[in-house]
């Protein structure tokens, strides 16, 4: 399935090739969680503070358990924009 | 100490100035800056006064920490009855002016009356002169500041002045100091213009003493360590500025777009902090040149930007080719998302003009957004706009209106009325996205519920700087709350309002509160000032200030009915994003808020509350 990954501020450097304006489509396996998606792009998990799926906040404990659905937008910011870890 | 214990009273009608000892009893109850100047203002000014009459007063005021070595301690505020709102106004500015005023030996300057002809005030420590400003009347802020420094042969003079907008009565004129720092909101510059006061120039060399310098050094250093170690104040704000919020708030579905018709903006990522750092296609240079700091600030959130020399706004206008004050989030939102313009250089140009001519970019951009909606709805046409095609997204229209409004000319004079009067004039009051006449800043309260209550109850009209619940609801500071929930927001808003009033009265920048709580501020104040300054006392001072401002507004004619939001936000649901289908739940939050405030069901502070706060 395809999700839209959005990485902002200093996390931008982990975006896959072909990303435009801090976002890219990304093929992931069914059952992928935010942490799995971040790890596959080598984004250090401790740098993911503000994490949103379709704009809704994902609390830290759920980042390893919530599964993404086809078409979901997964966005992350490092601690510079606040957020909690 | 920390206070200079001295204020300057300038009677512009008589052309006199006198020194007065600061009321230290009031200082213990209202701290300084916002709180203490409001106390003076409320004691001295009839609440029903016309903001533009000579009977209105205007106070430029510092806090006890202003001019000390505490981080960000260079702030000053302007307190008056706002020209845009008719409510109590208090606009806070950074830069270096506040520090200079304090170092000249003054806690505040109270301006009364109206000068017969344009004047400026020149203060050099205890030498105070009211001087003829004929040569500067009609000049921009930038030319006035340069002109005064050149005339007096001293580049170290600090100047706070108004542009042509303030002379012309543009309702949201600001007072700009140090070229690009502004006491921006509520039309404080309009009041200054109505007094024929073009500028205040200050040179101060007396120093600022603190009560216990050893403890103060330690407390200030501890505070700086907290700021440096915090990711938002230590890394985020210096690297990205407040503009890091553009994509956050858009993703959260709370970025008011097209005059609040929408809550997400397609072009948000073209006008964000990330976009400012990207090399431009045309000249390979990024918009952002560097960051900059106000006096004594260890955060340095300020932006310095350039515009592509070939951009339509500055082509063949070399005076705008040099680096100048760049976009911060609220300005980028108002000039951009509110108007549907996603051309970063156009926004930067409009922002330069706002600084140069002294207009509040929030009220300006939001009013242009309202005018664009009226234009698209056929309520106004090119006949009204002087030929400007005012469709959403028109970058050229935005840039020309910035210049026209800055000078109060053509359709710019209409924009200069502010959205409330402009929309009323055209029979569409519901299209003004404002509270108490002041335009919203950059957060849609359908997607961030607490901000609806913040705006509705703000004493100076819609404002994010009175209670920034975005910190909690979106960023998780100090703890995460759900932005789509109304539960618990009444208490949250009250807590933010009271704490903010204390920060604003200390001489500090509110951005420290991303890392500091009042627990970090109290030891600095306690060491610097006489008296005991604990967190609890500061919270009480904050609450007292809030209620004092409220009392002034009620005496000025506002009632609980003015604690309201435009129908669009409480009736029309958000169309996209996480808040899709939601309106703001003000109806539920407001009675809860009155209760936690200890106010009656009509929003009047109860006698018990007033007694408790010794008001
Ligand atoms: S944080 Fe920004 S606005 Fe506040 S004092 Fe520092 S540079 Fe100025």
Say whether pLDDT at A82 is over 80.
no
Same fold, B238-427 and B449-612: no
Q: Which two structure tokens, joined as six digits, stand for B481?
A: 């709350």
Judged by DSSP in three states, B90 sits in strand
What's the CATH architecture for B238-427?
Answer: Orthogonal Bundle (1.10)
Q: How far apart are CA B105 and CA B468, in angstroms?
A: 33
Q: How far apart are CA B520 and CA B458, in angstroms?
A: 25
Q: Taking the CA atoms of B246, B330, B449 and B515 in sequence, report the sign of the dihedral they define.
A: positive
Residue % of chain B over a pLDDT of 70: 100
A10: chain B residues, CB-CB within 8 Å? 239
pLDDT bucket at A83, cuts 50 / 70 / 90: low
CB B5 within 8 A of CB B61: no
Closest atom of ligand 1 to CA, residue B297: 6
Average pLDDT over residues B414-424: 98
- Residue B247 in contact with partner chain A when CB distance is under 8 A: yes
Angle between helices B344-357 and B395-407 (to 10 degrees): 0
Closest atom of ligand 1 to CA, residue B512: 1
Say whether pLDDT at B321 is over 90.
yes
Q: How far apart are CA B286 and CA A32, in angstroms?
A: 36
Q: What is the mean pLDDT of chain B?
A: 97
CB B474 within 8 A of CB B493: no
Non-local CB neighbours of A8 within 8 Å, separated by 6+ positions: A22, A75, A76, A77, A78, A81, B244, B247, B248, B274
Q: What is the predicted pLDDT for the residue at A84?
A: 65
Closest atom of ligand 1 to CA, residue B296: 5
- Residue B235 in contact with partner chain A when CB distance is under 8 A: yes
Closest atom of ligand 1 to CA, residue B509: 4
Closest CA to B52 of B167, B141, B138, B130: B167
Say whether pLDDT at A40 is over 90.
yes
Q: How far is CA B245 from CA B266, B331, B471, in A?
A: 15, 12, 11
Compare all CA atoms of chain A with the CA of B514 and give the residue at the minimum distance: A82
Q: How far apart are CA B607 and CA B612, in angstroms?
A: 8
Of A6, A50, A73, the CB nearest to B475: A50
Compare all CA atoms of chain A with the CA of B578 and give the residue at the minimum distance: A55
B239·A80 Cβ contact <8 A:
yes
Of A21, A23, A81, the CB nearest to B244: A81
Non-local CB neighbours of B200 within 8 Å, separated by 6+ positions: B60, B109, B120, B121, B123, B159, B160, B161
Residues B429-474: tens digit of each pLDDT = 999 999 999 999 999 999 999 999 999 999 999 999 999 999 999 9
The predicted model scores a pTM of 0.97
Q: How far apart are CA A68 and CA B431, in angstroms?
A: 39
Q: Which residues line ligand 1 (CB under 6 A)?
A: B 72, 94, 293-294, 297, 299-302, 509, 511
pLDDT bucket at B605, cuts 50 / 70 / 90: very high
What is the distance in A from the centroid of ligand 1 to the CA of A77?
Answer: 22
B251·A56 Cβ contact <8 A:
no
- Residue A54 in contact with partner chain B when CB distance is under 8 A: yes
Check: complex ipTM more than 0.90: yes
Say whether pLDDT at A60 is over 70.
yes
Residues B296-310: tens digit of each pLDDT = 999 999 999 999 999
Closest CA to B216 of B523, B428, B513: B523
Q: Which two structure tokens, joined as six digits, stand for B289?
A: 């040149």
DSSP state for residue B431 in the 8-state scheme = G
Three-state SS letters, B199-247 = EEEEECCCCCCCCCHHHHHHHHHHHHHHHHHCHHHHHHHHHHHHHHHHH
Residues B474-531: tens digit of each pLDDT = 999 999 999 999 999 999 999 999 999 999 999 999 999 999 999 999 999 999 999 9
Of A8, A55, A79, the CB nearest to B252: A55
**DSSP per residue, B362-388:** HHHHHHHHHHHHHHHTTSS-HHHHTT-
What is the distance in A from the centroid of ligand 1 to the CA of B72?
Answer: 6
Instruction: Supply the residue whose CA is at minimum distance from atom 8 of ligand 1.
Output: B294
Compare all CA atoms of chain A with the CA of B274 and give the residue at the minimum distance: A9
Distance of CA B558 to the CA centre of its chain: 21
Average pLDDT over residues B142-167: 98
pLDDT bucket at B11, cuts 50 / 70 / 90: very high
Q: Taking the CA atoms of B410, B412, B416 and B420 in sequence, report the sign of the dihedral they define.
A: positive
Q: What is the predicted pLDDT for the residue at B368?
A: 98
Q: What is the predicted pLDDT for the residue at B392?
A: 98
Q: What is the predicted pLDDT for the residue at B1?
A: 74
A12·B274 Cβ contact <8 A:
yes
What's the CATH architecture for B449-612?
Answer: Orthogonal Bundle (1.10)
- Nearest CA distance, A58 vs chain B (angstrom): 11
Residues B529-556: tens digit of each pLDDT = 999 999 999 999 999 999 999 999 999 9
B577: chain A residues, CB-CB within 8 Å? 54-55
What is the distance in A from the centroid of ligand 1 to the CA of A7?
Answer: 26
Interface A–B counts its CB contacts (< 8 A) at 82
What's the CATH architecture for B6-203?
Answer: 4-Layer Sandwich (3.60)
Q: What is the predicted pLDDT for the residue at B556?
A: 98
Average pLDDT over residues B48-77: 98
How many other CB atoms sit within 10 Å of the CB of residue B154? 12
Compare all CA atoms of chain B with the CA of A75 and give the residue at the minimum distance: B251
Judged by DSSP in three states, B314 sits in coil
Say whether pLDDT at A81 is over 80.
no
Domains and CATH numbers, chain A: 2-80 (3.10.20.30)
Average pLDDT over residues B213-240: 95
Q: What is the predicted pLDDT for the residue at A79?
A: 83
Q: Find residues 13-42 of chain A whose CB sits inside 8 Å of chain B.
A: 21-23
Cis peptide leading into residue B478 (ω within 30°): yes
Domains of chain B: which residue ranges? 6-203, 238-427, 449-612
Distance of CA B142 to the CA centre of its chain: 19
Q: What is the predicted pLDDT for the residue at A85?
A: 64
Judged by DSSP in three states, B605 sits in strand
- Residue B251 in contact with partner chain A when CB distance is under 8 A: yes
- Residue A12 in contact with partner chain B when CB distance is under 8 A: yes
């Amino acid at each position: 399935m395809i999700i839209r990954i959005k990485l902002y501020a200093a996390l931008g450097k982990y975006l896959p090739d072909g990303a435009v304006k801090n976002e890219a489509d990304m093929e992931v396996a069914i059952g992928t969680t935010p942490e799995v998606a971040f790890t596959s792009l080598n984004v250090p998990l401790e740098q993911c503070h503000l994490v949103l799926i379709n704009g809704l906040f994902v609390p830290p404990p759920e980042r390893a358990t919530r599964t993404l659905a086809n078409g979901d937008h997964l966005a992350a910011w490092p601690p510079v924009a606040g957020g909690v870890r | 100490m920390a206070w200079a214990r001295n204020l300057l009273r300038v009677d512009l009608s008589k052309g006199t100035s006198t020194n007065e000892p600061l009321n230290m009893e009031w200082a213990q109850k209202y701290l300084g800056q916002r709180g203490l100047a409001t106390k003076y203002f409320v004691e001295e000014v009839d609440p029903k006064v016309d903001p533009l009459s000579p009977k209105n007063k205007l106070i430029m005021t510092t806090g006890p920490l202003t001019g000390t070595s505490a981080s960000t301690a260079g702030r000053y505020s302007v307190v008056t009855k706002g020209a845009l709102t008719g409510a109590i106004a208090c606009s806070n500015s950074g830069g270096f002016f506040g520090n200079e005023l304090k170092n000249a030996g003054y806690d505040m300057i109270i301006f009364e009356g109206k000068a017969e002809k344009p004047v400026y005030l020149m203060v050099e420590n205890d030498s105070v002169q009211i001087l003829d400003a004929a040569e500067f009347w009609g000049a921009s802020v930038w030319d006035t500041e340069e002109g005064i420094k050149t005339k007096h042969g001293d580049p170290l003079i600090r100047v706070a002045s108004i542009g042509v907008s303030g002379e012309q009565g543009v309702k949201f004129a600001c007072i700009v100091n140090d070229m690009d720092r502004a006491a921006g909101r509520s039309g404080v510059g309009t009041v200054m213009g109505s007094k024929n006061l073009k500028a205040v120039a200050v040179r101060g060399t007396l120093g600022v003493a603190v009560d216990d310098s050893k403890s103060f050094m330690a407390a200030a250093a501890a505070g700086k360590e907290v700021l440096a170690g915090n990711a938002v104040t230590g890394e985020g704000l210096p690297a990205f500025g407040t503009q890091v919020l553009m994509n956050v708030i858009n993703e959260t579905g709370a970025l008011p777009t097209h005059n609040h018709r929408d809550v997400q903006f397609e072009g948000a990522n073209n006008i964000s902090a990330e976009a400012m750092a990207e090399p431009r296609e045309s000249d390979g240079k990024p918009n952002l040149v560097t960051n900059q700091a106000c006096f004594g600030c260890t955060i340095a959130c300020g932006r310095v930007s350039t515009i592509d020399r070939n951009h339509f706004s500055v082509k063949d206008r070399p005076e705008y080719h040099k680096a100048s004050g760049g976009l911060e989030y609220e300005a980028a939102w108002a000039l951009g998302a509110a108007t549907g313009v996603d051309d970063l250089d156009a926004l930067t140009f409009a922002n330069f003009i706002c600084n140069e001519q002294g207009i509040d970019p929030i009220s300006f951009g939001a009013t242009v957004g309202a005018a664009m909606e009226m234009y698209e709805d056929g309520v106004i046409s090119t006949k009204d706009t002087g030929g400007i095609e005012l469709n959403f997204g028109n970058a050229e229209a935005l840039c020309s209106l910035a210049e026209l409004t800055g000078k109060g000319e053509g359709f710019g004079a209409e924009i200069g009325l502010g959205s409330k009067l402009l929309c009323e004039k055209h029979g569409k009051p519901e299209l003004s996205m404002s509270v108490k006449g002041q335009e919203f800043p950059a957060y849609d309260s359908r997607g961030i519920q607490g901000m609806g209550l913040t705006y509705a109850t703000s004493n100076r009209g819609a404002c994010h700087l009175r209670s920034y619940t975005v910190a909690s609801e979106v960023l998780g500071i100090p703890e995460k709350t759900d932005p789509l929930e109304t539960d618990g927001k009444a208490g949250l808003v009250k807590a933010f309002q009271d704490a903010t009033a204390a920060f604003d009265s200390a001489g500090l920048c509110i951005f420290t509160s991303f890392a500091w709580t009042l627990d970090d501020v109290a030891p600095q104040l306690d060491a610097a000032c006489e008296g005991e300054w604990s967190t609890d006392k500061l919270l009480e001072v904050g609450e007292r200030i809030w209620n004092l401002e409220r009392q002034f507004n009620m005496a000025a004619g506002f009632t609980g009915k003015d604690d309201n939001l435009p129908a669009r936000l409480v009736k029309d649901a958000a169309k996209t994003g996480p808040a899709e289908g939601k309106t703001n739940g003000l109806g539920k939050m407001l009675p809860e808020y009155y209760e936690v405030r200890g106010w009656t069901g009509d929003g009047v502070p109860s006698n018990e509350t007033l007694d408790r706060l010794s008001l």
